[in-house]
Chain A
Amino acid sequence: MRRWTPSFLRIYVALMCVWLLAPIVIVVILAFSGDGYLHFPPSSLSLRWFDRFFGDLQWQHALLSSLIIGSIACIVSTVIGFFAAYAFLRAEFRGKKLLLSLMLTPIIVPSIITAIAMYYLAVRLGLVGSYLWIGLCHAVIAMPIVLLILLAALHAVDPNLERAALGLGSSRLRVFWKIVLPIALPGIMSAMLFAFLASFDELLIALFLSGVYAQTLPVRIWNSLNLQVEPTIAAVSAFLIAVTAVILAVDGILRHRRGERRRRAAA
């Protein structure tokens, strides 16, 4: 089969890939700079900015805050999102598409509005600076992503397997535990990773809700950028990029395995 991919299209796409990756690659290189200020290309290489990042108490605290909040958001949104995705696929009811679009609204509502509304409530409940509360708020933002990933992943679970087990006298809970969960596991793990990432990278809600105590990494970057651009930010950015890259790689492996499993099931 002849495919129409003229060479100028190939060159154009290659250039665009350079444009897309350049900012990320350059920040990673800058993170290893030995210079005292941000300059590209760096005149020497060193790990001093990573030393500064991991050695500084405030950055350490920000990293810890990010990890705690991300874990809460990840666990809560994945558990809740998994149940919702399962109900979407197995239950039959009217207005499914409408309900789904409603549950996806956190993605499209401008984050400044979400952040202010959540801040408004948090002030009245005295929850500004609470890890748990910020984690739950991030779970609200991460849940739509979990839902979309799991809707795709659970689609692969053949309802006939569940019907068969039910017909053979298994309890609903046992079917869930022994059939649905194991088959959906790679998808669930992908969803968890992206839910964590959604929280780990989120800025505005964390900015409004963190107070002075619970500042996350993006909030600290934001504050530093508004004061003075220092090379430590490049090291922190490189760290965040590395986390993203690792999560994408693991997701790639998980999806590969999901595909294999499906192929084996088909054979």
Chain B
Amino acid sequence: MTSTAAALRAAPLAASRAPRDRTLLLMLPALAMLVLMFFVPMLLFFVRTFMEFSGTTAAFVAQARELLLSQPYLTALGTTNWIALIVTLTVLLIGYPIAYYLTTATGPSVSIVVLSIVLPYFTSIIVRTFSWMVLLGTHGLVNDTLRAAGLIREPLPLMYNRLGVLIGMSYVLLPYMVLTLFAAMRGIDRSLLRAAEGLGASGFYAFRRVYFPLSLHGVLSGALIVYILAIGYFITPALMGGQHDIMVAMLIDRELEVAVDWPSAALMSLSLLLVTLVLYAVYYRVTDIRRLIGAR
């Protein structure tokens, strides 16, 4: 059996040199589509927008500097990173135990947990945001329940503020964290834990000294992907945020829709894109890129 397999592997290798090169041609349609419909439009958007700027280069640089150091932009930048940071930490704290549970549990409960993560994950973001708007509104379920229980008299401001954004975004981004952590944790050799316990470590001590350090790799990947997605977020903060929760993506949209200021929109987009790509490069270094949308 082994020898036939070996023979099969060895025999056509020399002959398949040429076809193998032709196999590479199958990549072309995908590459062409990606370049023509994704990279070229982006390049055109940036280059043409900047070329439309009349005046000297020095004037352009001065204007760019003014924009990128302007109060609304700096505020949005601060807000964006702050929200992204809080959401990443929240989602990590919530998601870690769930992912851990998934790697240890067996039986039908696993399917239920997986379903509770995957169903929201693949549900349209606009639908998920709408659900939270219904839940958190002034006359939403949460406020009504609290009032009926006599815990509060006035409805709590749960939406159209920072809290609403944080709840909505954490909900939307949690599945990315859980799936990334789960993929990493599944690779941890559990016999190490048993070895530690065999040597007298308590369950928690073994977890803290053996399991947790081994899972840090997944923590880093998960945090990176959630942060990357969070800094570019638009839909949820636009619908659930208040006037103090303008994120960079919303500012870009506003420059286009309200001010019709293409150069400003392009500049902000470029800065956001560069940050995203730098973080993606780090992600690329630390993790298996094939796990980008969760393990399969």
Q: Which residues of A contact B (CB under 8 A)?
A: 1-6, 9-10, 12-13, 16-17, 19-24, 26-27, 30, 38-40, 76, 79-81, 83-84, 86-88, 90-93, 97, 99-114, 116-118, 120-121, 136-137, 139-140, 143-145, 147-149, 151-152, 160, 163-164, 166-167, 172, 194, 197, 200-201, 203-204, 218, 221-222, 225-226, 229, 233-234, 237, 240-241, 244-245, 247-248
Interchain nearest-CB distance for B77 vs A (Å): 14
Beyond A106-B34, A164-B8, A221-B130, is A16–B98 a contact (Cβ under 8 Å)? yes
Name the residue of chain A whose CB is nearest to the CB of B250: A112
Residues of B within 8 A of A118 (CB): 37, 41
Residues of B within 8 A of A83 (CB): 26-27, 29-30
What are 27 pairs between A and B in contact, CB < 8 Å? A10-B101, A17-B112, A19-B171, A20-B119, A20-B171, A23-B128, A40-B134, A80-B33, A90-B20, A99-B27, A101-B280, A110-B233, A117-B38, A117-B42, A121-B44, A139-B33, A140-B38, A143-B30, A148-B290, A203-B235, A204-B235, A218-B126, A234-B134, A237-B130, A237-B131, A240-B123, A241-B127
Q: Which residues of B contact A (CB under 8 A)?
A: 5, 8-9, 11-12, 16, 19-27, 29-31, 33-34, 37-38, 40-42, 44-45, 48-49, 94, 97-98, 100-101, 104-106, 109, 112-113, 115-120, 122-128, 130-135, 139-141, 144, 171, 174, 193-194, 203, 206-207, 225, 228-229, 231-235, 239, 249, 252-253, 256, 265, 269, 272-273, 276-277, 280, 284, 289-290, 292-293, 296
Name the residue of chain A whose CB is nearest to the CB of B253: A112
Beyond A3-B104, A100-B289, is A20–B11 a contact (Cβ under 8 Å)? no
Interchain nearest-CB distance for A101 vs B (Å): 5
Residues of B within 8 A of A194 (CB): 122
Residues of A within 8 A of B123 (CB): 24, 201, 240-241, 244
Establish whether residues B42 and A113, one from each chain, have CB atoms under 8 Å apart when the complex forms: yes
Establish whether residues B101 and A113, one from each chain, have CB atoms under 8 Å apart when the complex forms: no
Cross-chain contact of A108 among B48, B171, B269, B276 (Cβ < 8 A): B276
Residues of B within 8 A of A160 (CB): 5, 8-9
Rounded to whole angstroms, the CA-CA distance of A137 and B219 in the bound complex is 33
Q: Is the interface of A mostly helix, strand, loop or mixed?
A: helix
Beyond A23-B171, A225-B133, is A108–B280 a contact (Cβ under 8 Å)? yes
Rounded to whole angstroms, the CA-CA distance of A140 and B42 in the bound complex is 13
Residues of B within 8 A of A107 (CB): 292-293
Interchain nearest-CB distance for B226 vs A (Å): 11
Residues of B within 8 A of A3 (CB): 104-106
Beyond A86-B23, A110-B276, A244-B119, is A148–B296 a contact (Cβ under 8 Å)? yes
Establish whether residues A203 and B126, one from each chain, have CB atoms under 8 Å apart when the complex forms: yes
Establish whether residues A121 and B104, one from each chain, have CB atoms under 8 Å apart when the complex forms: no
Beyond A4-B203, A13-B101, A103-B34, is A110–B234 a contact (Cβ under 8 Å)? yes
Establish whether residues A143 and B252, one from each chain, have CB atoms under 8 Å apart when the complex forms: no
